[in-house]
Amino acid sequence: MGSPQDLRYTDDHEWARLEADGTITVGITDHAQDALGDVVFVDLPAVGRTVDAKGTFGVVESVKTVSDLYAPCAGEVVAVNGELSGAPEQVNKDPYGAGWIVRLRPTSAEPLAGLKTAAEYDAYLATL
Amino acid sequence: MSLLRTPLFENVKAKGGRFVPFGGWEMAVQFAGIQSEHDAVRTGMGIFDVSHMGEIEIRGRDALAAVNRLITNDLTRIADGQALYTCMCQPDGGIVDDLVVYRYGPEHIFICCNASNREKDFAWIVEHLTGEARAVDRSVEFAQLAVQGPAAPALVQRLTRVDLSPMKRYWFAEGEVAGIPSIISRTGYTGEDGFELYVPAAQGGRLWDALFDAADGALHPIGLGARDTLRLEMKFALYGNDIDATTSPLEAGLGWVTRLDKEGGFIGQDVLRAQKASGLTRGLIGFQMQGKVPARHGYAVVDADGQTIGTVTSGSFSPTLKTCIGMAYVPKSSTAPGSQIFVQVRDRAEAAVVVKTPFVAR
């Protein structure tokens, strides 16, 4: 099954969705959650924090591993998914929905430029 | 260097194993997922391919006495047909490896050692054997399958004529399982009942398949991920994480397999006696995180002022307790259950409390 068409993707397996209000919602892909296994903790950034493109903004931990989260674009954190502190398994169950991680207000004009389309990301996964 | 594969590689792959490099071996880290695999072993049964483990055999007139000189536990305290868990130490008390040693008889001893230590252990044993005793590294000849969980004994019993009901924990017997000559050992690394089966390497795959066939869907393949969480919940040490050449068995809480007054002595005995007499400065404790963030191997243990006082040796989410647990070396003053410690996780100190172990009662 292909990755959702309406999202853009990083090489580090984050997805990004441009919302109607101009903010960018960020999570990790289905491939990423499957590779990590059971997610037990998500280290969320503080709202108001600024992040650089490709900078780390948090950590997702499964039973076995610790994995950094990389921002798909530069921006300010305007919201975090607080539900994950009580239910980190949402990242596994619904990575593109209830498992979203942060929402950024981008600080560049074309925040999603340079990210992969779904077709490009799926082609990339096939090479891994 | 290319990774080694166990004789069961194709059988494990066929069950959906996800492989990772582990100590030079290509091993399955998980199948269905660590949580569900862990639960399967605690409540039903699971099977592990642990063919990477080493097997060293010592034979000769003085075999038992010679091996007894190398290990901290005491082979004269058990009977033929019984096995024991032990450390093997350097003269300075540091741990060469932790082992399960099988006593066939005074002239025949069989050792299971850690995969990553096999070559080192064999060289150490050959160098330090005394009297008439000869060691042979038989690791490549064996496949090893661990069948663990409350349902495991009944499954193995269905495939063997050996009466397993009188076999107590840490006893073993030779016999056929599914028609395959096996060492049937009532041991394991999970805290559950079950067996470790040593069989000829070429027949390991056939035994794996026969066990699944006989279990009719009730047997689950288990990877290294759940093997780690299962052993951690029991506070079983993992060599290279919790114990190594710089730690003593006394510090590691393995005094119960360290016979300081053993007749005939053992390598490291003098240093360990002195360590006991002068008092230990640190100990390996179990802790529980008070928040939700896992502690990991190598994280610093700090006090309320942020001063480093120790190191986390193992840490994970506990699938049984649904909290984060770990093991750490801390100063003697902080080893009592209830002691407050902190673990440095990235940029912050997370509160943890020293708890009684095993973490999960069995």
Q: What is the secondary structure of A51-83 as a DSSP string? A: E-TT-EEEEEEESS-EEEEE-SS-EEEEEE-TH
Q: Do A38 and B35 lie within an 8 Å CB cutoff?
A: yes
Residue among A43, A64, A85 whose CB faces B34 most closely: A64
Domain end (from B213, B233, B253): B233
Element (DSSP H or E) covering residue A39: strand A39-43
What HEC string does chain B produce? CCCECCCCHHHHHHCCCEEEEECCEEEEEECCCHHHHHHHHHHCCEEEECCCCEEEEEECCCHHHHHHCCECCCHHHCCCCEEEEEEEECCCCCEEEEEEEEEEECCEEEEEECHHHHHHHHHHHHHHCCCCCEEEECHHHEEEEEEECCCHHHHHHHCCCCCCCCCCCCEEEEEEECCEEEEEECCCCCCCCEEEEEEEHHHHHHHHHHHHHHHCCCCEECCHHHHHHHHHHCCCCCECCCECCCCCCCCCCCHHHCCCCCCCCCCCHHHHHHHHHHCCCEEEEEEEECCCCCCCCCCEEECCCCCEEEEEEEEEECCCCCCEEEEEEEEHHHCCCCCEEEEEECCEEEEEEEECCCCCCC
Cα gap A60→A63, rounded to integer Å: 10
- Name residues of chain B where pLDDT drops below 70: 1
Kindly state whether residues B164 and B229 are assigned to the same domain: yes
Q: How many domains does chain B have?
A: 2
Kindly state whether residues B183 and B313 are assigned to the same domain: no
Of B20, B293, B312, B318, which to mutate for an interface test with A (greatest number of A Cβ within 10 Å)?
B293
Per-residue tokens: B91? 């003269």
Q: Does the CB of B214 have a partner CB in chain A at under 8 Å?
A: no
Kindly state whether residues B46 and B169 are assigned to the same domain: yes
| The pLDDT of residue A84 | 97
Kindly state whether residues B48 and B192 are assigned to the same domain: yes
The per-residue pLDDT for range A19-60, each reduced to its tens digit, is 999 999 999 999 999 999 999 999 999 999 999 999 999 999
Q: Is residue B259 part of a domain?
A: no
Kindly state whether residues B44 and B146 are assigned to the same domain: yes
Q: Do A40 and B229 lie within an 8 Å CB cutoff?
A: no
Residue among B30, B35, B294 whose CB faces A41 most closely: B294
Closest Cα in chain A to B319: A63
Residue A125 has a CB neighbour count (10 Å cut-off) of 16
Kindly state whether residues B227 and B336 are assigned to the same domain: no
| The pLDDT of residue B292 | 95
Looking at CA atoms only, how far is residue B34 from chain A in angstroms? 7
Residue among A43, A63, A66 whose CB faces B35 most closely: A63
Chain B positions touching A59 (Cβ under 8 A) are 346
Q: Do B317 and A59 lie within an 8 Å CB cutoff?
A: no
Kindly state whether residues B229 and B286 are assigned to the same domain: no
Percent of chain A's residues with pLDDT above 70:
99
| The pLDDT of residue A109 | 87
Looking at CA atoms only, how far is residue A33 from chain B in angstroms? 11
The per-residue pLDDT for range B235-270, each reduced to its tens digit, is 999 999 999 999 999 999 999 999 999 999 999 999
Q: What residues 267-306 of chain B have any CB closer than 8 A to a CB of chain A?
A: 292-294, 296
Kindly state whether residues B43 and B146 are assigned to the same domain: yes
Kindly state whether residues B201 and B301 are assigned to the same domain: no
Residue A73 has pLDDT above 80, yes or no: yes
Of A31, A61, A64, which to mutate for an interface test with B (greatest number of B Cβ within 10 Å)?
A64
Residue B171 is part of a domain; what is its CATH number?
3.30.1360.120
Q: Which ipTM was obtained for this model? A: 0.87
| The pLDDT of residue B23 | 86
Residue A1 has pLDDT above 80, yes or no: no
Kindly state whether residues B207 and B309 are assigned to the same domain: no
State which fold the A8-122 domain adopts.
Answer: OB fold (Dihydrolipoamide Acetyltransferase, E2P) (2.40.50)
Residue B286 is part of a domain; what is its CATH number?
2.40.30.110
- Bridge pairing between strands B340-345 and B220-221: unpaired
| The pLDDT of residue B83 | 98
Residue among A37, A61, A85 whose CB faces B294 most closely: A61
Domain end (from B233, B261, B290): B233
Looking at CA atoms only, how far is residue A19 from chain B in angstroms? 31
The per-residue pLDDT for range A9-27, each reduced to its tens digit, is 999 999 999 999 999 999 9
Closest Cα in chain B to A84: B292
Instruction: Tell me A116's DSSP state.
Output: B
The per-residue pLDDT for range B24-79, each reduced to its tens digit, is 999 999 999 999 999 999 999 999 999 999 999 999 999 999 999 999 999 999 99
Kindly state whether residues B19 and B163 are assigned to the same domain: yes
Q: Does the CB of B32 have a partner CB in chain A at under 8 Å?
A: no
| The pLDDT of residue B1 | 62
Place of tokens 């027949």: B203
B295-305 in b/e form (b: 16+ CB < 10 A) is bbbebbbbbee
Percent of chain B's residues with pLDDT above 90:
99
**Residue B174: which domain range?**
9-53+140-233
| The pLDDT of residue B362 | 84
Q: Does the CB of B314 have a partner CB in chain A at under 8 Å?
A: no
